[in-house]
A and B are shown apart, each in its own frame.
Chain A
């Protein structure tokens, strides 16, 4: 479980996050949604420790992450898997090397075991025969899947995805969503996804937090969204004619 309490973050005079409280339960996919500049990526970076919050606390299973120094965070970080918006694969390494990198650093597995683990992770994301390819030789969707394979290589307890569907075609985006959902169920990990893809919201949103102007404006499930009267949320979620029509049909 991950809990954030009263998170504040500013960059200069620009207040990005103001007093965010939330609890992210294990075994379910939690989505953070909001318009551009609403602070969702900043919140994710505060949670994983890439940004230091100006105020507030982050707990990973009752351990106060924000209070720890780099060395103290390492055991928790070994349990974190993260998929970045642009995949952030290491350019100089092959797909296989990308996946076994953390195993090289932190495990005592033999070379054979590490390769077997890499193959398992790649099979898990439906990507085989790409072991020796470099990231530059992969499509956007394949990079995302390798990113997921790398994220699950250490059996993560916490899975973070920053805009996993950005730049992908709808079919691949759905595939990535399903993967995230399946892996969350399989590993029973605490999964937090930052997205503004409404297909993801309606597809895998077990818990949804809507950020607006740096504040938590609404929270609930995907079913609650359809019944919500919050204008800001409706303006965001049902902005497109397709989503408006979908809501009318569902209603």
Chain B
């Protein structure tokens, strides 16, 4: 079963990356999808990552009780864990729930109402027209969202730490500036790029091949989110193992 779906997914990708009929139309769709996927998710990402940053700071402070460790280490740990893991991966999991289910239901509904058949009858590469703009928008906008998420988590950590007295603002800021390794940001961006591809292509695959009616469209949305989350976590492990 795994190999069947994997093979079908690869064949779908092959169709998606065929030369577009008219770039102008695709470009319009890409801008639309960038707005849907990116701008439409900014609020959610800001709220979630700010709280995660604040909570992380408090929990790190709670665990680092030794007088031998300076308080600035709290900022350092918060920075690195947000850049390397929490920023990209939590954002990706949240986006998979929000954007992934929407993509799967949108394409699935088009399939069961014969809109995809209509596109194919017109001589349009339905897979390319419907999915390529989403993938391009995803790989552009998810890194942007992840950057925003990391920034908000660091700001959240600053407020969370100082408001609860877990770490002073000056110690925290000193910590996030100390021994910064720029390569961690590169790892985060690679993860964000890959997640952007997964968040758009896996649900699109599930929606594109749905058969039946409204019930099956709903089921495909659920499956898309579950499978997508697993693929995100597996690729998180792979990228971390390869790059760090």
Contacts and interface: CB of A to CB of B under 8 A. Distances in A.
A and B form one complex = yes
Given A77-B123, A84-B118, A105 B113 contact: no
Contacts of A88: 113-115, 117-118
Interface in B93-113: 109-110, 113
A48 interface: yes
Nearest to A102: B122
B228 to A, nearest CB: 23
B21 interface: yes
B37 to A, nearest CB: 15
Contacts of A90: 110, 115, 118
Contacts of B124: 102, 105
Interface string B108-140: 011001110110111111000000000000000
Nearest to B28: A104
Contacts of B64: none
Contact of A48 (B21, B25, B115, B121): B121
24 contacts: A48-B121, A49-B121, A50-B117, A50-B120, A50-B121, A70-B125, A77-B123, A78-B122, A80-B121, A80-B122, A82-B118, A86-B114, A88-B115, A91-B110, A91-B113, A102-B124, A104-B22, A104-B25, A105-B21, A105-B22, A105-B25, A105-B122, A105-B124, A106-B123
Interface string A81-111: 0101110111100000000011011100000
Contact of A82 (B109, B121, B125): B121
Contacts, number: 55
Assign chain B's interface to a size class: 10 to 19
B122 A84 contact: no
Interface in B46-61: none
Interface in B6-39: 21-22, 25
A70 B122 CA distance: 11
Contacts of B115: 88-91
A52 interface: no
Given A50-B117, A90-B115, A104-B25, 5 more contacts: A49-B120, A74-B123, A88-B118, A105-B21, A106-B22
B114 A85 contact: yes
Interface in A32-68: 48-50
Contacts of B22: 104-106
A73 interface: yes
A101 B123 CA distance: 12
Contacts of A101: 122
A14 to B, nearest CB: 15
Contacts of A91: 109-110, 113, 115
Contacts of A74: 123
Assign chain A's interface to a size class: 20 to 34
A121 B21 CA distance: 24
Contacts of A105: 21-22, 25, 122, 124
B35 to A, nearest CB: 13
A159 to B, nearest CB: 11
B114 A78 contact: no
A84 B117 contact: yes
Nearest to A80: B121
B21 A106 contact: yes
Contacts of B120: 49-50, 77
Nearest to A107: B22
B16 to A, nearest CB: 13
Contacts of A78: 122-123
Interface string A11-49: 000000000000000000000000000000000000011
Nearest to A74: B123
A50 B110 CA distance: 15
Contacts of A82: 118, 121
Nearest to A79: B123
B235 to A, nearest CB: 30
A135 to B, nearest CB: 10
A63 B114 CA distance: 26
A42 to B, nearest CB: 13
A137 B155 CA distance: 46
A91 B111 CA distance: 12
Contacts of B125: 70
A80 B121 CA distance: 7
A211 B25 CA distance: 41
B169 to A, nearest CB: 48
Contacts of A104: 22, 25
